[in-house]
């Protein structure tokens, strides 16, 4: 069982995170409302992952990531932010975060981001990826690549279309669409169509 800290100055945010994680099967969570409290918890407990949400004060979240890495803490860090731009994502990645997810998709994307971080992967949105090139989740052990056809399926899932509708648009059978969905679920370690759709929105595939 992974030990997780939810770091936020907002008690409602911490409560929402606790509920979302409990629904995803994570029951071991410690609340922290400041970086100082987090550092104290780290001295007393083995922690695998820290989820940081200081929206709308995202610079505080970035500072927390930088401070944790400066202390040589090597666990996973996920940032929840309402900033949807490449610059902030890049800064979080450079500071040492394993992923950043949008506030609007946070509760759906959070389990996916957590699994990625706990398995050694990174998950960052590619806001300006309009070329049709594959999207990859990067880790020290390799890439999980999403093909062009898989991108198309994700795009229409994010738009709320069902298998039959997607098949008609792409001129493939609904069974083939189901096959692509199963591959994506396995490849991305996602467990529902809702998470697939959220992944697509987060990576601007819609």
Quote the pLDDT of residue 206.
60
Judgement on whether residues 109 and 163 belong to the same structural domain of the protein: no
Q: Are 111 and 15 in a shared domain?
A: yes
Question: Do 110 and 139 have their domain in common?
Answer: no
Report the pLDDT averaged over residues 74-100.
Answer: 84
In a domain, 9, yes or no: yes
Per DSSP, the three-state class of 136 is: strand
Q: Are residues 17 and 100 in the same domain?
A: yes
The SS3 call for residue 116 is helix
Do 82 and 168 share a domain, yes or no?
no
pLDDT at 141: 37
CA angle 119, 123, 125 (to 5 degrees): 170
**Taking each helix axis from N to C terminus, what angle separates 86-95 and 58-70, rounded to the nearest 10 degrees?**
20
* 143 and 113 co-located in one domain: no
What CATH number did the domain enclosing 18 receive?
3.40.50.2300
Report the CATH number that the domain containing residue 144 is assigned in CATH. Answer: 1.10.10.10
108 with 27, same domain: the answer is: yes
pTM recorded for the entire structure: 0.63
pLDDT of residue 57: 84
Q: Each residue of 139-189: pLDDT tens digit? A: 343 455 667 788 788 888 888 889 999 988 888 888 889 988 888 888 777
pLDDT of amino acid 131:
41
Domain span including residue 24: 4-118
Residues 114, 139: one domain?
no
Distances in Å between the Cα of 170 and the Cα atoms of 103, 141, 144, 206 are: 31, 33, 23, 15
The answer to whether position 126 is within a domain reads no
Last residue of a domain, one of 68, 91, 118: 118
What integer pLDDT is reported at residue 67 of this predicted model? 93
Same domain, 67 and 19: yes
Which residues are CB-neighbours of 74 under 8 A, at least 6 positions away?
Answer: none
Is 124 among the domain residues?
no
pLDDT of residue 106: 60
Q: How many domains does the chain have?
A: 2
Last residue of a domain, one of 59, 93, 118: 118
Considering the domain architecture, whether residues 87 and 28 belong to the same structural domain is answered as yes
Is residue 85 domain-shared with residue 48, that is, in the same domain?
Answer: yes
Whether residues 29 and 111 fall in one domain: yes
């Amino acid at each position: 069982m992974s030990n997780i800290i939810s770091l936020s100055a907002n008690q409602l945010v911490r409560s929402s995170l606790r509920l979302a994680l409990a629904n995803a099967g994570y029951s071991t969570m410690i609340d922290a409302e400041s970086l100082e409290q987090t550092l104290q918890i780290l001295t007393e407990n083995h922690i695998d992952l820290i989820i940081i949400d200081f929206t709308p004060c995202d610079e505080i979240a970035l500072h927390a990531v930088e401070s944790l890495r400066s202390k040589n803490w090597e666990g996973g860090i996920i940032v929840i932010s309402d900033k949807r731009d490449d610059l902030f994502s890049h800064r979080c990645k450079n500071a040492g975060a394993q992923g950043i997810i949008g506030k609007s998709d946070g509760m759906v994307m959070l389990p996916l981001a957590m699994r990625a971080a706990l398995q050694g992967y990174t998950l960052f949105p590619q806001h300006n990826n309009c070329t049709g090139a594959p999207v990859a989740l990067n880790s020290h052990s390799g890439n999980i690549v999403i093909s062009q056809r898989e991108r198309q399926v994700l795009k229409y899932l994010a738009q709320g279309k069902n298998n039959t509708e997607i098949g008609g648009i792409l001129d493939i059978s609904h069974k083939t669409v189901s096959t692509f969905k199963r591959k994506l679920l396995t490849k991305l370690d996602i467990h529902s169509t809702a998470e697939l759709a959220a992944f697509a929105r987060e990576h601007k595939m819609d």
